[in-house]
Amino acid sequence: MKTILLTNKYSGAPLEIVKEEVPEGFSIRFLPEQTQDALIAEVGSADYILAGGRLKISREALEKAKKLQMIQRSGVGLDALDLDAIKEKGIPLYVNQGVNAESVAEHALLLMLACLRKLPTINNNTKNGVWKKQEQGVQTAELKGKTVGIVGMGNIAKTLVGLLKPFKVNIRYYNLVQMDENFEAENNMTFVGMDELLRNSDIVTIHCALTPETRNLINKETLGVMKDGAILINTARGEIVDPAAVANALKDRKLSYAALDVHAQEPIPEDYPLKDIDNVILTPHIAGVTADSFRAMMHDAFRNIECFDKGELDEIAPYRYL
């Protein structure tokens, strides 16, 4: 029986979904703790790795992975993988391309609307007996007609563009490559430089990968370029945003609101600079996790492993990276 080593830890309902999706003829194994030492100790027994996005698949661990046939990412991000080592060892790597794009895009839209309507503040006021309808209402805003700046234009961002279309927003986007002109025209999109995007967007939403170039992309200097009173959304990777700089921008009202699903340190520490600020929404890296997306993620990942084991994967899932 082939062994699949999962680097993420699951319990409760997520664990039950994982168990239901394991294909016949395979056993699953979990790390006793999510550490490099535990991975190095356990990886030698693995025929396959189902890699989450937190624990690094390091060169040292791969040196011990003598039976390893393939690595399957449960999601799409590659920043927790030593890609150079994986390539040198010739280990096939597959990702679940686009599996949670709808979920993350919906969450990004949800956060935009919640910030514009100052939902946490209004909710707390209402529960505490504050009933100032007009006074509170005129402090909120609609999404319709706003300029939305999208940083990165992968599957999630393109899905978000579709969700934004009924709101008749103006989209400025920054990406390594320009989209097809028909796609731009259909969605009221303009390809711009990063500086122009920051200066002219009412809402800036982050959807790029974490790379050396994008680490701390949103910092004191880039926040200073942004439009006064703008909103910042991040559902990509926490390390793209400097939380201390965002905290200062919120306190100074340079930003009117911010909403972050991903954080430089997860779980967030006690001294997290954004934790006790009123005009910020924090969620626990949950944008890509719904009952629907999690089951699809596990189903597709295990199916890829099963098909690879049968020598059929390249015919079915072309999302091979290495």
- Our separate counts of H helices and E strands in the chain read 14, 12
pLDDT along the chain (322 residues), means of 10: 96 97 97 96 97 94 97 90 95 90 98 97 95 95 98 97 98 97 97 98 97 97 98 98 98 98 96 96 97 95 94 62 56
Q: Could you say which of 117, 237, 263, 306 is catalytic?
A: 237
- Global pTM reads 0.91
For residues 258 and 244, give the distance between their C-alpha atoms in angstroms, rounded to a whole number: 13
Q: Which of 9, 58, 10 is nearest to 34 (CA)?
A: 9
Are both 123 and 257 inside the same structural domain?
Answer: yes
Are both 270 and 193 inside the same structural domain?
Answer: yes
Count of domains for the chain = 2
Task: Give CA separation, 106 vs 100, 103, 289, in Å.
Answer: 10, 5, 11
Is the CB of residue 215 less than 8 Å from the CB of residue 243? no
**Which pLDDT belongs to residue 2?**
97
Q: Decide if 16 is catalytic.
A: no
Q: Decide if 29 is catalytic.
A: no
Task: Give CA separation, 224 vs 193, 194, 230, in Å.
Answer: 16, 13, 11
Is the CB of residue 94 less than 8 Å from the CB of residue 319? yes
Q: What beta strand segments (E) does 17-107 contain?
A: 26-30, 48-51, 70-73, 93-94
Residue indicated by tokens 């910042």 = 232
β pairing state of 70-73 and 93-94: parallel
For residues 300 and 313, give the distance between their C-alpha atoms in angstroms, rounded to a whole number: 11
Are both 65 and 193 inside the same structural domain?
Answer: no
For residues 231 and 146, give the distance between their C-alpha atoms in angstroms, rounded to a whole number: 11
**Which pLDDT belongs to residue 166?**
97
Residue 41: give its domain's CATH number: 3.40.50.720
**Which pLDDT belongs to residue 43?**
97
Bond before 267 cis per omega within 30 degrees: yes
**Which pLDDT belongs to residue 54?**
86
Question: Residue 296 gets which letter from DSSP?
Answer: H
Are both 39 and 125 inside the same structural domain?
Answer: no
Is the CB of residue 250 less than 8 Å from the CB of residue 223? no
Q: What are phi and psi of 31, to 5 degrees?
A: -75, 145
Are both 242 and 209 inside the same structural domain?
Answer: yes
Q: What are phi and psi of 187, to 5 degrees?
A: -115, 15
**Which pLDDT belongs to residue 17?**
97
Residue 153 corresponds to which tokens in the numbers above?
């234009």
**Which pLDDT belongs to residue 42?**
96
Are both 273 and 129 inside the same structural domain?
Answer: yes
DSSP 225-252: HSPTTEEEEE-S-GGGB-HHHHHHHHHT
Q: Decide if 285 is catalytic.
A: yes
Residue 302 corresponds to which tokens in the numbers above?
């295990």
Range of the structural domain that residue 147 is part of = 101-282
Q: Does residue 220 lie in a domain region?
A: yes
Q: Does residue 322 lie in a domain region?
A: no
Question: Residue 260 gets which letter from DSSP?
Answer: E
Could you tell me which residues come within 8 angstroms of residue 74 by beta carbon, excluding any fewer than 6 positions away? 8, 50, 51, 52, 53, 96, 297, 298, 301
Q: Which of 204, 210, 201 is nearest to 260 (CA)?
A: 204
Are both 157 and 28 inside the same structural domain?
Answer: no
Q: Could you say which of 285, 303, 312, 315 is catalytic?
A: 285
Q: Does residue 25 lie in a domain region?
A: yes
Are both 115 and 141 inside the same structural domain?
Answer: yes
Are both 274 and 133 inside the same structural domain?
Answer: yes
Q: Does residue 72 lie in a domain region?
A: yes
Q: Could you say which of 16, 20, 186, 266 is catalytic?
A: 266
Q: Directed axis angle between helix 119-127 and helix 101-116, to 10°?
A: 60
Are both 44 and 65 inside the same structural domain?
Answer: yes
Q: Does residue 321 lie in a domain region?
A: no
